[in-house]
């Protein structure tokens, strides 16, 4: 099926948030793919990245999902073998409750009143969705980037619930440099004259700030080799000297404007901060105590050319998992696509995703 489904959760008992506060009710947008087998032991949860949604794949091929080339009959995300579930994250803007959703207490969008959320909160909502659907066990959880953090947290929070974890291009902690990038992106949004402290839904949105933030983000997802090959120092035929003079500048401007069509600025801020704040030890005595809870087999895949989740950070993650006695397979390879390789470099990930989902015999 290709249409998003919706369910309302936490109506009677609000979700208690890790950083304090609560939220109720929570609408969750989700999608399923493939066929559930008789034993109900082929269920795989897909956790999307920062600006993703509940639709990684469209079976009718009229549109492209964000994992369109990875998913389908006989592919790495094999719809003839597994039953996939993917939901939009808490705090998002693709159907699940987020800052743009109506606050039932005021009848207006949450805006600045939307509470601070964590990866742990996102995972708790995903678990509530699975409980609602009657899912009692997962063959695997898979995610890339921000989704990889969610996949890791699943192993910590629900160690007997998951057989396999597949983490693509994501570490246990976001680096200082990466947090710095996110800070600049947030400031671009917050300092837009239209931001209004997050309460902009009755007027013009902070489009300029959000588009600038997206432009910076795009540079962290790409590689210098990729940009050099695509654009080099080529200029536009009628370039604006102080604007889009070089082709690469025009590309970034296009990406910034395109992003405005599909994402909310407040959601971007909240999810960026959840990314920064991710700490698997939250709620536990230390990192080892948290990671030692993981019983699932863990597949970690690093892209050596990733400029956001760098190879050194993935190696630190590998070391911490090994020290915590987690059953681990670690792979790495270079890709011209950098961080975004997990979305587009099928040949690089195919074998390891397939093996990671299947797990150890």
Using CA atoms, how far apart are residues 288 and 291, in angstroms rounded to an integer?
Answer: 5
- Residue ending a domain, among 234, 249, 272, is 272
Q: Are residues 55 and 119 in the same domain?
A: yes
Rounded to 5, what percent of the chain is helix, strand, coil? 35, 20, 45
Read off the CATH number of the domain in which 236 is found. 1.10.1740.110
Let me know if 145 is a catalytic residue: yes
Q: Are residues 55 and 130 in the same domain?
A: yes
Q: Are 43 and 357 in contact (CB under 8 A)?
A: no
Q: Give the pLDDT of residue 240.
A: 84
Q: Give the pLDDT of residue 2.
A: 56
Let me know if 339 is a catalytic residue: yes
Domain that holds residue 284: 5-174+280-358
Q: How many domains does the chain have?
A: 2
DSSP H helical ranges for 138-246: 146-157, 176-190, 207-221, 224-230
The residue annotated as part of the active site, out of 87, 101, 145, 335, is 145
Q: Give the pLDDT of residue 361.
A: 45
Q: Are 306 and 341 in contact (CB under 8 A)?
A: yes
- Residue ending a domain, among 250, 272, 294, is 272
> Among 56, 22, 43, 251, which residue's Cα sits nearest to residue 143?
56
Using CA atoms, how far apart are residues 240 and 242, in angstroms rounded to an integer?
Answer: 6
Using CA atoms, how far apart are residues 269 and 210, in angstroms rounded to an integer?
Answer: 10
Tokens 């590998």, residue located: 318
Q: Are residues 101 and 249 in the same domain?
A: no
Q: pTM for the complete prediction?
A: 0.96
**What's the start-to-end Cα distance of the chain, in Å?**
31
Q: Give the pLDDT of residue 224.
A: 94
Q: Are residues 294 and 215 in the same domain?
A: no
- Residue ending a domain, among 272, 301, 336, is 272
Q: Give the pLDDT of residue 1.
A: 45
Q: Give the pLDDT of residue 197.
A: 98
Let me know if 306 is a catalytic residue: yes
Q: Give the pLDDT of residue 238.
A: 83
As annotated, the binding site includes 214, 340
Q: Give the pLDDT of residue 6.
A: 98
As annotated, the binding site for substrate includes 214, 340
Q: Are residues 21 and 158 in the same domain?
A: yes
The sign one gets for the Cα dihedral 132, 133, 136, 139 is negative
Residues of the chain predicted below pLDDT 50 = 1, 361
């Amino acid at each position: 099926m290709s249409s998003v489904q919706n369910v309302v959760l936490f109506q009677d008992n609000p979700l208690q948030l890790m950083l304090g506060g609560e939220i109720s009710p929570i609408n969750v947008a989700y999608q399923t793919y493939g066929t559930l087998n008789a034993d109900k032991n082929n269920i795989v949860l897909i956790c999307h990245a920062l600006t993703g949604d509940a639709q990684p794949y469209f079976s009718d091929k009229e549109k492209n999902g964000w994992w369109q080339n990875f998913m389908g009959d006989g592919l790495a995300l094999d719809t003839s073998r597994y039953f996939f579930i993917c939901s939009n994250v808490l705090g998002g803007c693709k159907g699940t409750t987020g800052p743009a959703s109506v606050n039932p207490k005021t009848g207006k969008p949450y805006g600045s009143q939307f509470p601070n959320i964590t990866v742990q909160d996102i995972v708790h909502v995903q678990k509530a969705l699975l409980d609602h659907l009657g899912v009692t066990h997962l063959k695997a959880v898979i995610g890339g980037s921000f989704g990889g953090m969610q996949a890791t947290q699943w192993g910590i929070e629900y160690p007997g619930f998951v057989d396999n974890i597949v983490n693509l291009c994501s570490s246990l902690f976001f680096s200082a440099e990466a947090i710095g990038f996110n800070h600049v992106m947030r400031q671009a949004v917050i300092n837009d004259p239209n931001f209004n402290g997050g309460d902009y839904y009755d007027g013009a949105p902070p489009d300029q700030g959000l588009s600038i933030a997206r432009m910076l983000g795009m540079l962290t997802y790409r590689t210098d080799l990729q940009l050099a090959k695509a654009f080099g120092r080529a200029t536009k035929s009628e370039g604006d000297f102080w604007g889009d003079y070089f082709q690469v500048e025009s590309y970034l401007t296009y990406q910034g404007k395109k992003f405005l069509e599909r994402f909310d600025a407040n959601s971007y801020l909240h999810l960026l901060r959840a990314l920064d704040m991710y700490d698997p030890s939250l709620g536990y005595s230390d990192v080892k105590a948290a990671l030692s809870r993981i019983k699932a087999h863990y597949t970690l895949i690093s892209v050596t050319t990733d400029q956001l989740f760098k190879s050194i950070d993935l190696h630190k993650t590998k070391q911490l998992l090994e020290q915590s006695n987690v059953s681990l397979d670690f792979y790495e390879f270079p890709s011209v696509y950098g961080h975004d390789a997990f979305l587009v470099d099928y040949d690089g990930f195919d074998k390891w995703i397939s093996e990671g989902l299947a797990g150890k015999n």
